[in-house]
Structure 1
């Protein structure tokens, strides 16, 4: 995964050292920072269609065009280059699922439907797999606890847990295919299986103890149609491949697997993962999260759609991705480089991975 500490330089962190999990969890709230975060960004909360639509559509169509190149190319090097480009483009397109879990349902008319049609269903990852799940990660009393679907104390686990965590992403495309082609249709006639699949295999979560509650109302109806679309697409892929050859599907699986591994690596450095299940203050949650601000330009490849400002996003979850850079500039100018705010800024992917590895080596 491309990253370079020499190209991605940012203020070095002053956060708690690895192993200071209890201190981090009980960090008193920096009320000045929290107040500034709200007051300085009041005008940045609108999701702008002129940015969302072109970005998502260009990412999706680039992914499809490059995937076609990877399938049709006769030169191995060209096919590989197209595959990498397709993986990066689809990865960016797919991460709009994160924005869909935050923006108001009426903010971008038609965006959710088109995204699911072009990206979510073809990748067998409809938006319901994150909507209703990701907000739990932002809940004040859930973050970093056993009730958080997106948190594990990775920094306090054994070193072997990190490569296992990373490499399981390689299995994701096949697992999604089996889910939509086999488990969901069987669940339609076997209610206990349907309940199990929903509770344990219908959310983009990393906490193995997380069980999802049954959907209700309008959300349940949306889930039904998205599940039906994903299952129909999975059966089409299998049927077409059995009749015309498996090479295109296998290349597609490899491309999606590359994006999944990249996302898993990003997840490894999205937080410091040092909380042991305690309820944390808002400032403690912020300091357990990570910003990788400019000037590093490679970050836009491995943390696109605003995810380079992940700590800031935890302060301001309703601010859309395209406004986070401006919010970061305002807060840095207002609070100064020695403030609590800048303590969540790190230099890049490799320094964060190194910190995480060192933490696992000293864990109890």
Structure 2
């Protein structure tokens, strides 16, 4: 029986002991590829942003519907890839890629109203051994154990993201400057890319607080300009941009939906249990590179090696798969594609109807 035939069974995640041989192999076999390479990061991010904005411009400016839709599709895929570098920013050492964080925020984060502070200091909590899968994990919900309506709600919330981001940066953040309780509320409840509705963020401190200040300022000024733009450009450019970001957000939410099995009910888990609750979608399938770019098709391997740069994850996976072999614990986190994983979660929720 293959791993694909057994994934419908409930996972007793909290009771899985650590596979120490696998954890040791993960550390020892990948030391030589653990350095972030600027020659890969910079061109990838810059080209993705350039193609994304060119596609967005085409979607706005072209009159033929088929050409505009094609440009919009290109914009969604390219901007999606550019945005996902925010995940890398949370893991790479601050000194590894000089200037990369600033450039990404200037070119992608602030224009898309998702500056890096919304993920930095949040995503690392998801990787904390004692927090993953618990009520203190900002990026975890037991989706496979929830009611059927939770999945469409999960996607609808993502579709509304661009409206929420505009209101947050153009209205709520400026108002918070003169209404301290609102400022604390916006920071605590609306300043993190989190899916756990009970997560409340702590106030920023020190150098991070200074970084938040300039990113918030840039995002607010840009959001105000966007809301004012119909006065001289009409509504078409803003409406198309909102639609492109909404589709991008839904695309990312679908990826998030299949990044884990979502079967933990709040108990602390071992590293191996966290790995088995996460998902790899390795080759030979090619579509995963579109819906899970920047190394995220190897999400389970990423949970074993959180600091591994995205460009090294394919090689890390090949080495570990060859070393551990078919039928090993490592093999059990690999799945064939998004459709099967969504179907598995949907069937799990239907059983709770």
What TM-score, normalized to structure 1? 0.95
Equivalent of 2:3 in 13, 24, 42: 13
Whole-angstrom distance in 2 between the partners of 1:348 and 1:20: 20
Q: Gapped runs of 5+ residues in structure 2?
A: none
Give runs of aligned pairs for residues 277-296 of structure 1, distance below 5 A: 277-296=266-285
1:178 matched residue in structure 2: 167
Q: Does 1:131 align with 2:120?
A: yes
Whole-angstrom distance in 2 between the partners of 1:15 and 1:180: 46
Q: Does 1:254 align with 2:236?
A: no
Give runs of aligned pairs for residues 315-334 of structure 1, distance below 5 A: 315-334=304-323
Give runs of aligned pairs for residues 99-178 of structure 1, distance below 5 A: 99-178=88-167
SS at match of 1:189: coil
Question: May I ask how many residue pairs the two structures share in their alignment?
Answer: 353
Q: Does 1:60 align with 2:21?
A: no
- Measured at CA, do residues 15 and 286 of structure 1 come closer, stay the same or move farther in structure 2, by a change above 3 Å? farther
CA contact (8 A) 1:83 1:255 kept: yes
Whole-angstrom distance in 2 between the partners of 1:187 and 1:167: 27
CA contact (8 A) 1:15 1:287 kept: no
CA contact (8 A) 2:282 2:334 kept: yes
Whole-angstrom distance in 1 between the partners of 2:315 and 2:352: 37
Equivalent of 2:212 in 203, 207, 223: 223
Equivalent of 1:89 in 74, 78, 90: 78
Whole-angstrom distance in 2 between the partners of 1:297 and 1:264: 20
SS at match of 1:203: coil
Equivalent of 1:307 in 283, 296, 303: 296
1:3 matched residue in structure 2: none
Please tell me the root mean square deviation across aligned C-alpha atoms, in Å.
1.3
CA contact (8 A) 1:290 1:311 kept: yes
Query: Shift of residue 246 of structure 1?
Result: 1.2
- Measured at CA, do residues 66 and 17 of structure 1 come closer, stay the same or move farther in structure 2, by a change above 3 Å? closer
1:346 matched residue in structure 2: 335
Whole-angstrom distance in 2 between the partners of 1:115 and 1:17: 38
Query: Shift of residue 363 of structure 1?
Result: 3.3
2:222 matched residue in structure 1: 233
SS at match of 2:227: helix
Q: Does 1:193 align with 2:182?
A: yes
Whole-angstrom distance in 2 between the partners of 1:145 and 1:241: 44
Whole-angstrom distance in 1 between the partners of 2:135 and 2:120: 19
Q: Gapped runs of 5+ residues in structure 1?
A: 1-10
Whole-angstrom distance in 2 between the partners of 1:12 and 1:301: 26
SS at match of 2:160: helix
CA contact (8 A) 1:101 1:130 kept: yes
Query: Shift of residue 17 of structure 1?
Result: 4.0
2:261 matched residue in structure 1: 272
What TM-score, normalized to structure 2? 0.98
Equivalent of 1:242 in 221, 231, 255: 231
CA contact (8 A) 2:60 2:237 kept: yes
Query: Shift of residue 244 of structure 1?
Result: 2.2
C-alpha deviations, 1:89-125, integer Å up to 9, x for none? 0000000000000001111000000000000000000
2:324 matched residue in structure 1: 335
Whole-angstrom distance in 1 between the partners of 2:144 and 2:27: 31
Query: Shift of residue 13 of structure 1?
Result: 2.7
C-alpha deviations, 1:135-193, integer Å up to 9, x for none? 00000000000000000000000111101101211100010000000000000111100
